[in-house]
Structure 1
């Protein structure tokens, strides 16, 4: 499994993406997490990602195996960080990272993040910001392994989340 493609999602990808998101929602619930248990993300949010060009898929041999949203210079919740970002320049935000359950444990979340970092640099943006729930230990480990630094807390729908940033070179 080495021939990965990372590309913008198109509307025809929606059902495959939604399937992966639903798997991730169930995994978070099984882990005892509150993350993604409040009807978000939902099918409409995925469709919105696609039509606004925020949705990206990781593809292996024509099969969509991963998803994320990539947003440039916009995340209102990040304006009110309790803590301090490393930079105040242009930035890319990664949201809604999810991997098909048949491909877990193969480092594919890291592969998605790596591709987003390349995309940022291609656009002359040298900061990537992310967040996750306090109980999403796996995602925190991925961020830290990839060199993201903990910057403080941000709030989404009333819940605190750990915020990270990586300055790209």
Structure 2
């Protein structure tokens, strides 16, 4: 499996995966992703900003994530405390294809994101999720992300997580 930057021709495939995620969140009774975000314009902006990544298996896109380098301004205010104030990347808009549900793709995707960080000498990852997104919370707990408190994203409170990566890998 390969994690790589997405291109504009892949936007329809990415949007299809995100729509599955939107429907799943709705089915789970969540308000997350039920207000028109994310949408195709969001993906276009991710691609234009070089933050759109696809996770592929045998050249088939099976998951998507935005990997954002630089400051996430919404994270400047946290009810709680980040592990540190060092350089970090932010993970947003994680979704996997229905065809790979329950196959550990989320954990594998996060492992590949950690590899990218280490290659670029970035040793911190921050991510947030809705309080009711139990599948994402389970992945973050499993992968030893630390719950740091609450941030506001798009006007809604979110659980904020942070992971420090070891520098000696």
What TM-score range do you get, normalising by the shorter chain? over 0.9
Provide the residue aligned with 1:32 in structure 2: 29
Aligned counterparts of 1:60 and 1:137: Cα–Cα separation in 2: 25
For the pair 1:22 / 2:19, whether they are aligned, the reply is yes
Q: Does 1:141 find its partner at 2:101?
A: no
Give how far 1:74 is off: 2.0
Name the structure 2 match of 1:106. Answer: 103
Counterpart of 2:80 in structure 1 is 83
User: What corresponds to 2:149 in structure 1?
Assistant: 152
Q: What does residue 160 of structure 2 align with?
A: 163
Separation of aligned partners in 1, 2:26 and 2:124: 31
Listed as ranges, the matches of 1:60-99 within 5 Å are: 60-99=57-96
Q: Show structure 2 runs of 5+ residues with no match.
A: none
Tell me the alpha carbon deviations over residues 112-152 of structure 1, each in whole angstroms, 9 at most, x when there is no partner. Answer: 11111111111111000000000001110100100100000
- State how far apart, in whole Å, the 1-side matches of 2:7 and 2:155 are: 31
Q: Which runs of 4+ in 1 moved over 6 A?
A: none
Segments of 5+ residues of structure 1 without an aligned counterpart are none
RMSD (Å) for aligned C-alpha atoms? 0.6
State the distance in 2 between where 1:48 and 1:157 align. Answer: 16
